């Protein structure tokens, strides 16, 4: 646990605070970090006594100990075990009061480092689990092994969420974001994996359909609270691990085909559009071109507004800031150009499908 790199950090921090030479010795009594480079790798007799007896050793000027100078040497304790010794050089009478403070600071730094390393290890394990779940061929042995290392419930029903980060403050790291999301969303009922630096995946587990909207709202509030610009999509609920990859691909595609100004995208609301997007591309393009060939951009915008308002004339006219008679004129013009009347359900469906395809070209 007490590495040379960590010891060097402790020496730098401690020496600045107490304005004294500080040494760190490992369990073998070897000096692994010091303000005095000439003392590195020497065996410190005082440290050996500390490790042997488990108590603080004070070395006075008149004491003759190999590799030791006057000062105070204290055990570094981690999880009830001595993992090293910290030594402060100087007159014992002048430094005895600060010795315990330096020891406390050292043990706190080690504990914080341990907690951070455990957090990193857990996140790496979660990322590996996500990688396994996204494979075409699942290895249930590897999945069970990884789940066994993590403290959460991995039982149905599942929901997949993708968070695409568009912009954020440089101070909001993925670590900060993940911790905030896990604290808000009950960390034992799912996990968060990193796809890449600006793309995260949440796997909610043991979730009822009634809870889904609440969970999504919680995620939304966390992201907003951290002032992150994002787009989020979530899958239909599913019960089998083999469906995890498909649910992820559904979410990914939902983000691609949806309005880019929309922050929250439900796959369920876009399923028809996604199905059309997955059709044969050549046939789709030919269909869209045939339908919309004579329709200009203004009238395509008109159709989109008309469909968004469920074929409601007045609401569409208000959104477009035009008179209802102008809207009716445009709809009649579209009907002449395409042979399809946007006010009739079947014709409107064909036009809507053509527009969806057109948007992806």
CATH code for the part of the protein at 151-272: 3.30.70.270
pLDDT in tens, 188-226: 888 999 999 899 999 999 999 999 999 999 999 999 999
Neighbours of 24 (CB within 10 A): 26
Domain locations in the chain as residue ranges: 4-113, 151-272, 279-360
pLDDT in tens, 233-246: 999 999 999 999 99
- Mean pLDDT by 10-residue block, N- to C-terminus, for the chain (361 residues)? 88 84 92 91 91 90 72 92 91 82 89 88 93 93 91 89 91 90 85 92 93 94 94 96 95 91 93 82 87 94 94 94 94 94 93 89 70
Q: Are 230 and 262 in contact (CB under 8 A)?
A: no
Q: Are 230 and 163 in contact (CB under 8 A)?
A: yes
Contacts of 16 by beta carbon, 8 Å cutoff, 6+ apart: none
Pick from 26, 5, 27, 8: nearest CA to 16: 8
CA–CA separation, 134 vs 138, rounded Å? 8
Confidence at residue 73, expressed as pLDDT on a 0 to 100 scale:
92
Confidence at residue 152, expressed as pLDDT on a 0 to 100 scale:
81
The DSSP call for residue 43 is: B
339: left (phi over 0), alpha (psi -120 to 50) or beta: left
The CATH-assigned architecture of domain 4-113 is: 2-Layer Sandwich (3.30)
CA–CA separation, 215 vs 128, rounded Å? 24
Q: How many alpha carbons fall within 13 Å on the CB side of residue 281? A: 3
The DSSP call for residue 322 is: -
CA–CA separation, 143 vs 307, rounded Å? 45
Q: Indicate the pairing of strand 81-89 with strand 71-78.
A: antiparallel
Confidence at residue 65, expressed as pLDDT on a 0 to 100 scale:
67
Q: Do domains 4-113 and 279-360 have the same CATH topology?
A: no
Confidence at residue 318, expressed as pLDDT on a 0 to 100 scale:
94
Q: Is the C-alpha dihedral spanning 28, 33, 35, 41 positive or negative?
A: positive
DSSP H helices, 193-312, are 209-225, 244-257, 267-277, 281-292, 297-308
Confidence at residue 189, expressed as pLDDT on a 0 to 100 scale:
86
Sheet with 190-196, strands from edge to edge, namely: 190-196, 199-204, 159-167, 229-234, 264-266
> Is domain 279-360 in CATH 1.10.10.2840, yes or no?
yes
């Amino acid at each position: 646990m007490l590495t040379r790199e960590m010891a060097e950090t402790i020496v730098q921090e401690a020496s600045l605070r107490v304005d004294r030479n500080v040494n760190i010795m490992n369990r073998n009594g070897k000096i692994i970090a010091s303000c005095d480079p000439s003392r590195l790798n020497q065996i410190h007799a005082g440290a050996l006594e500390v490790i042997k007896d488990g108590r603080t050793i004070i070395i006075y000027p008149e004491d003759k100990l190999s590799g030791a100078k006057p000062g105070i040497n204290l055990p570094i304790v981690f999880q009830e075990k001595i993992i090293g010794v910290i030594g402060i050089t100087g007159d014992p009478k002048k430094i005895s009061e600060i010795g315990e403070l330096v020891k406390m600071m050292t043990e706190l730094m080690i504990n914080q480092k341990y907690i951070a390393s455990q957090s990193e290890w857990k996140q790496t394990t979660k990322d590996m689990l996500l990688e396994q779940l996204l494979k075409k061929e699942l290895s249930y042995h590897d999945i069970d092994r990884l789940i066994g290392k993590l403290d959460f419930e991995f039982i149905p029903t599942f929901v997949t969420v993708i968070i695409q980060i568009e912009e954020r403050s440089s101070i909001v790291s993925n670590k900060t974001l993940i911790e905030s999301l896990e604290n808000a969303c009950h960390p034992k009922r799912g996990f968060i994996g990193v796809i890449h630096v600006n793309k995260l995946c949440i796997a909610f587990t043991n979730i009822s359909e009634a809870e889904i909207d609440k969970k999504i709202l919680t995620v939304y509030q966390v992201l907003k609270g951290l002032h992150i610009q994002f787009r989020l999509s979530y899958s239909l609920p599913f019960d089998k691990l083999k469906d995890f990859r498909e649910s992820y691909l559904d979410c990914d595609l939902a983000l691609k085909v949806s309005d880019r100004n929309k922050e929250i995208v439900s796959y369920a609301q876009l399923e028809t559009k996604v199905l059309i997007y997955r059709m044969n591309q050549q046939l789709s393009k030919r269909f869209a071109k045939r339908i919309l060939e004579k329709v200009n951009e203004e009238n395509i915008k008109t159709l989109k507004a008309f469909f968004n308002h469920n074929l409601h004339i007045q609401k569409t006219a208000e959104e477009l800031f035009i008179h209802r008679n102008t809207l009716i004129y445009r709809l009649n013009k579209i009907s002449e150009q395409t042979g399809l009347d946007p006010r009739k359900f079947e014709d409107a469906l064909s036009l809507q499908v053509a527009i969806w395809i057109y948007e992806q070209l």
